[in-house]
Amino acid sequence: MYYHHHHPNTNDHQHRRRQSNQFKMDQLFCSSLKNQKTNNSIIIKYLSILLLMFSLFSTKNLFVQSFRPYNYYAPHQYPETGPLSYNFPLIKAFRGELTPNNMLSQATHLCEGALMGPSSLVVYQHYLYTGTIGGGIYRCNLETGNATRIVKVANELCRTKYWDASLCGRPLGIRVDRSGNLYFIDAYLGLHQISFYGANQQRLRVKRLLSPDQVGSRYMTHLALDEGGGANGGIIFYITIASTRHDLNEWPRMILEPDRSGRVVRFDMDLNQTEILMQGLWYPSSVQLSDDRTSILVVEFTARRVVRHYIRGPQRGKTETWIQNLPGEGEHLIRSLDKYQETYWLPVVNARNVSSPSMIDWLSDKPWIREEIMQNFTALGQKIEMLGAKWTNSNLERLGFRLKNLHFFYDEALSNDYGMVLELDSNGRLLGSLHSIDGSNFRLSEVVEGPTENPYERVLYIGSYSNPYILKLTIPNFTQDYQQKNKQIISNNKITENGVDFSLLPYGSTRRAIATNLDGTNTISLDDDNKAIFINAPSSSSSSSSTSTLNRRLRKDATRYSSST
Ligand SMILES: *[C@@H]1O[C@H](CO)[C@@H](O)[C@H](O)[C@H]1NC(C)=O
Ligand SMILES: *[C@@H]1O[C@H](CO)[C@@H](O)[C@H](O)[C@H]1NC(C)=O
Ligand SMILES: *[C@@H]1O[C@H](CO)[C@@H](O)[C@H](O)[C@H]1NC(C)=O
Ligand SMILES: *[C@@H]1O[C@H](CO)[C@@H](O)[C@H](O)[C@H]1NC(C)=O
Ligand SMILES: *[C@@H]1O[C@H](CO)[C@@H](O)[C@H](O)[C@H]1NC(C)=O
């Protein structure tokens, strides 16, 4: 509660007064404390508690009445910079399609120890391709489990400061086209193509197609391919720019601010032309094309939602909410292999509910505390980092780096070890979820489904930003189950489709019935007492922290590649 007694300058103070009614409540509480101190009278004490309770009720009702909390989407309503108070409701409990199972903990390890941080994956002809910490692209043999590095960003400096992604490069989103060319996004270096050629495709060529400078990016995350959409029948790329203000190293800062400078750009490879499609996004972590190619789905990590943006047809240019109030921060949304139904896999990190909130939920309407935390950690981290450099102690330098960029704070205060993956249909409705409740598998970033001969099973490959392996999980094909079971039920002439009790199934228990059960908002299990979203007036103060010019220069040098196959 120390923040009640910090009023460093009047400008700040004025700003805070505009913050929210929550703050008025705090002030009230503050003055009630003072009263206690001076008068120490029991009557005043109880009076202030009564007042406090009254203010609690009145502020809540006021906001619930004056804002429509859930069913609107206004990406440009939030100022892109400055302190912001926000409040995205948490769900009450993991119920229905979110009922916990421990299926995700059953996953086995693939290519263990050979790679680090396989954040995004593609399956192509017996191989999994993935980008890793340290700037490598690996291919992992699905049968033997052997991994080989096929591309590496050549940078000597990365060796001494391996923890600094701006020196090493960091390949994130990866996709493959129909002819087998790979495309990957490096957070610092942009969009690249890897093409294979020669006898048995044993040689490869790496080409940069788009640099971050061309689109004003400081941090690129993921991509979607629209093959045949280009001016001459080539590929259109949809690319998420997580931030135009912070780089990958500063990702915890992007959560605390929260950063609202994310974009989606459209890149026509045929014309070498780019266009900004969306702006003001909250840490967009991935983009996915819909089956009918009329829209893209963009995950906003810190806003805990997915939005749909139409790129073709009568609704072109329109943006709408696809799913919101996710039970945690959404990572990469990827089309499943289900041909029967258009479904998507979405890993969710820090899965939580009202009984297990994260500190970020408590901090969300207290921007001045977030600001102070960031400033204090940065100041301390910079000092420690300098000490480490002075005494050439790399462990100390790394600690300083992690403190400075708030990685340390995120690990300690914001993250949990609950693993969760959602399956959603083409309208953003939840079909089922996989859980790891025992902490074996968490911080998962992407799920891609691999082909299988057995129609009764589905094979999932799961990546993460930090694991030294790829996870493989085989789950039953519940479409099969449903059809079998349904056939049986219908032949027995007992119950109709909507009355079917699927509760014995561990996953997707109401997989087919769900579409009729959920209302159109796709807000996961809303509570009756959710608070409304409220927005502050923009402030002129900005807290952009920039990477040193040295780092920028080093990064420019990092665009040489070595390849081996
Ligand atoms: C709430 O979320 C936590 C994980 O953060 C989970 O362990 C717990 O079971 C959930 N509680 C309910 C009531 O769903
Ligand atoms: C896999 O890698 C190991 C060690 O690098 C090697 O001994 C083995 O022959 C490889 N297996 C295959 C099938 O390539
Ligand atoms: C594409 O355009 C950028 C700048 O607009 C330019 O630097 C680059 O060389 C162009 N690439 C090709 C292949 O023409
Ligand atoms: C922490 O940050 C606040 C506000 O930015 C500043 O006033 C204070 O001096 C800082 N404290 C330390 C120990 O650096
Ligand atoms: C699951 O079963 C359905 C129904 O038979 C089938 O259409 C689908 O292809 C199967 N999925 C997989 C991944 O085999």
Q: What is the distance in A from the centroid of ligand 3 to the CA of 80? A: 29
| Rounded distance between C-alpha atoms, residue 304 and residue 348, angstroms | 9
pLDDT at 193 (0 to 100): 95
How many angstroms from the chain centroid is the CA of residue 2? Answer: 31
Sign of the dihedral through C-alpha 341, 344, 350, 353: negative
Q: What is the distance in A from the centroid of ligand 5 to the CA of 174? A: 26
User: Which ligand has an atom closest to residue 139 CA?
Assistant: 2
| Rounded distance between C-alpha atoms, residue 501 and residue 495, angstroms | 9
According to DSSP, the β-strands at 470-476 and 561-563 are unpaired
Within 8 A by CB and 6+ apart from 561, the residues are: 151, 152, 153, 154, 206
Tens digits of residue pLDDT in 515-542: 222 233 344 433 333 222 211 112 223 3
Are residues 107 and 471 in contact, defined by beta-carbon separation less than 8 angstroms? yes
Q: What is the distance in A from the centroid of ligand 4 to the CA of 380? A: 10
Question: What's the pLDDT band for 499 if we cut at 50, 70, 90?
Answer: very low
| Rounded distance between C-alpha atoms, residue 336 and residue 354, angstroms | 30
What one-character-per-residue DSSP string does 352-397 give?
A: --TTS--HHHHHTT-HHHHHHHHHHHHHHHHHHHHHHHHTT-HHHH
Nearest alpha-carbon partner for 210 in 286, 267, 152, 285: 267
Residue 222 exposure: Cα atoms within 13 Å on the Cβ side: 24
Question: What's the pLDDT band for 476 if we cut at 50, 70, 90?
Answer: confident
Question: What's the pLDDT band for 25 if we cut at 50, 70, 90?
Answer: very low
pLDDT at 78 (0 to 100): 73
Return the bridge partners of 305, or none: 300
Q: What is the distance in A from the centroid of ligand 3 to the CA of 272? A: 6
Q: Which of 101-115, 140-154, 173-187, 188-202 has the highest mean pLDDT?
A: 173-187
2, 5, 375, 545: which to mutate for ligand 4, most atoms within 8 A of CB? 375
Question: What's the pLDDT band for 96 if we cut at 50, 70, 90?
Answer: confident
Q: What is the pTM of this model?
A: 0.78
CA distances from 226 to 291, 294, 335 (A): 10, 10, 14
pLDDT at 419 (0 to 100): 97
Q: What is the distance in A from the centroid of ligand 4 to the CA of 158? A: 32
pLDDT for 75 beyond 70: no
214, 232, 556: which to mutate for ligand 3, most atoms within 8 A of CB? 214
Atom 14 of ligand 3, residue of closest alpha carbon: 272
In CATH, the architecture of 96-358+415-523+546-563 is 6 Propeller (2.120)
pLDDT for 403 beyond 90: yes
Residue with tokens 């009918």: 292
User: Which ligand has an atom closest to residue 94 CA?
Assistant: 1
| Nearest ligand 2 atom, CA 145 | 1
Are residues 519 and 135 in contact, defined by beta-carbon separation less than 8 angstroms? no
Atom 5 of ligand 3, residue of closest alpha carbon: 214
pLDDT for 513 beyond 50: no
What does pLDDT average to over the chain?
A: 77
Sign of the dihedral through C-alpha 111, 114, 117, 118: negative
pLDDT at 40 (0 to 100): 53
User: Which ligand has an atom closest to residue 144 CA?
Assistant: 2
| Nearest ligand 4 atom, CA 371 | 5
pLDDT for 458 beyond 70: yes
Q: CATH 2.120.10.30 in the chain, residues?
A: 96-358+415-523+546-563
What one-character-per-residue DSSP string does 323-335 give?
A: EBS-SSEE---EE
Q: What is the distance in A from the centroid of ligand 4 to the CA of 164? A: 26
